[in-house]
Structure 1
Amino acid sequence: MPATPASLLTGPGLPDGSAGIRLVVTDMDGTLLDDAKRIPEGLWPMLGELRRRGVLFSPASGRQYATLARQFAEAADGMVFIAENGTYVVRDGVELSSDPLDRSVVAGLARTVRRLVAGGVDVGAVVCGKRSAYVERTDEAFLAEVRQYYVEHRIVEDVTAVDDDVIKVALFDFGPAERSTAPALDAFSATHQVVVSGEHWVDVMNPTANKGAALRGLQRELGITPAQTMVFGDYLNDLEMLDAAEWSFAMAGAHPEVIRRARHLAPSNNDNGVLRTIARVLGIPEV
């Protein structure tokens, strides 16, 4: 078990061997992005410097592949996108791995959400396919949340009838998901991953699917070790990913369990923590 994280900027504890880092993987919301959901301006020159040094940069997010590809369009060549919490991994438009859900599970989740709504819970389901996300709710408040993470989405009458490989089902709860929607999914947690991925989001995936499993598969494919991997995260869906890297950083203000599991602590997402950490560890002048 890693020790309590040492402060990156003020304390000791960073391991030796930073020159051997070949892969940097970062969560998006609450980690790379600030609270206004903005990519730091300094990222683009940083990506150029990492590419020059032969270091691969990989966003790892609950967001869909199409959303990530659009956000990183100006630097996407050769970049590996770990999308949908690790259920869909793509490089240069080519699928590297995926982990689709059984249709019966999707149908069961849809029924559960419909029962919650009938009981007064303000929740909606996003059925995440490889080509698009699919929703039944049509109110603008819900769709505004969906658009932040799923640029490719369609409103359908029945989410269980879509013609697509479903890789994840995400539930958005306008209340605190950890206290309301997540407990209603206990029946699924015995056989599937039920992960609180944000204050209002719960993701359901196959038991074999998470960001860590996707990262380990990528490491095997590229011949990169945990000692050569740097990872940043802030929430519960990042835990397995942090375990796959010796250079694991929790953001200041991260979920307490994330801080406990990470080896080191980075400045917060609002303090440009990811870029400042990369710059310090790799000896790159901050821009």
Structure 2
Amino acid sequence: MTGLIALDMDGTLLDSTGAIPEGFWPLAKLAKSRGIAIAPASGRQLATLRHLFAGNPETEPSSYIAENGTVVWHEGEIVSTTTIDPDLVHQIIDVAEGLDATVVLCLPEIAYILDDHDELINAEVEKYYFSTERVSDLHAMVGTEVVKVALFTHRSAEDDLAPQLRGISPELTVAVSGEHWVDIMNPLANKGIALTALASALGVVPADTVAFGDYLNDLELLRAAGTAYAMANAHPDVKAVADHIAPSNADHGVITELTKILG
């Protein structure tokens, strides 16, 4: 019996316009009434996720897996964070400057970005980070609470940026989270680890968990789930680890499969 459903957002639940399909809300209400937890599991910021789902207590999730698993929120509070060593954060910032990549410094409840970026980059950042602050020096904002460093490039994240970043330190995980985004994290955190921990906290056995995803930062999530769905638009590596292929996000594939799961 399903007890926990983890949903990636971009390319998965969100449609081709970046919106939550209207058909999701009655399903979320039904799941909640049956005691089934639906947890958004995203590379997006916690504040962004909470903003997307706010408005109706009958459909709002009680749990979120944010920042690719480095932040877990449950029933009104952050219950887990996984941080990066400050010395390594400084190294990442320095390396990114030489790669012409935009750095987003992610803390559990706010993200910092340099104040000298153009409007195109600002718009891309604001799409994923609802709570942000512009600063003149990212190094000055580095402390003990950095959970993730996100980097945006106009080039290919998978083919160009990620390979150049993987040499920074063996202590770091470099995850390709989108066509132009790379996330750098502590290797003790990913969506799969967060799903397992959340299921344990909810008293749900791993076999009763379901996960949907589409991109490379969803690999661990799908591997950890009892039943794994890759979207039709998913990366080939994600499809390879899935139990089922759902219709694409443009075709509201999550809605189709949730309707079947919930009967």
TM-score (norm 2): 0.95
Answer yes or no: is 1:235 the counterpart of 2:218.
no
Task: Give the corresponding residue for 1:255.
Answer: 235
| Cα drift, residue 239 of structure 1 | 0.6
Preserved contact between residue 246 and residue 263 of structure 1 (Cα < 8 Å): no
Preserved contact between residue 138 and residue 155 of structure 1 (Cα < 8 Å): no
CA distance in 2, matches of 1:186, 1:72: 34
From 239, 250, 262, the counterpart of 1:270 = 250
- The gaps in structure 2 that reach 5 residues or longer are none
Alignment partner of 1:231: what SS? strand
Task: Give the corresponding residue for 1:157.
Answer: 136
CA distance in 1, matches of 2:154, 2:2: 40
Alignment partner of 1:38: what SS? coil
Task: Give the corresponding residue for 1:10.
Answer: none
Preserved contact between residue 216 and residue 235 of structure 2 (Cα < 8 Å): yes
Query: Residues 242 and 220 from structure 1, CA distance in 2 versus in 1: closer, same or farther, beyond 3 angstroms?
Result: same
Percent of aligned positions that are identical: 46
Task: Give the corresponding residue for 2:76.
Answer: 93
CA distance in 2, matches of 1:75, 1:184: 43
Alignment partner of 1:74: what SS? coil
Answer yes or no: is 1:125 the counterpart of 2:108.
no
Task: Give the corresponding residue for 1:59.
Answer: 40
Alignment partner of 1:232: what SS? strand
Larger Rg: 1
CA distance in 2, matches of 1:83, 1:221: 16
Preserved contact between residue 127 and residue 135 of structure 1 (Cα < 8 Å): yes
Instruction: Tell me whether 156-165 or 216-225 shows the greater mean CA deviation.
Output: 156-165
Alignment partner of 2:207: what SS? helix
Give the alignment's Cα RMSD to 1 decimal. Answer: 1.3
Alignment of 1:14-93 (within 5 A): 20-75=1-56, 77=60, 79-93=62-76
Instruction: Name the aligned partner's letter for residue 249 of structure 1.
Output: Y
Instruction: Tell me whether 107-116 or 128-137 shows the greater mean CA deviation.
Output: 128-137
- The gaps in structure 1 that reach 5 residues or longer are 1-19, 118-122
CA distance in 1, matches of 2:169, 2:235: 21
TM-score (norm 1): 0.87
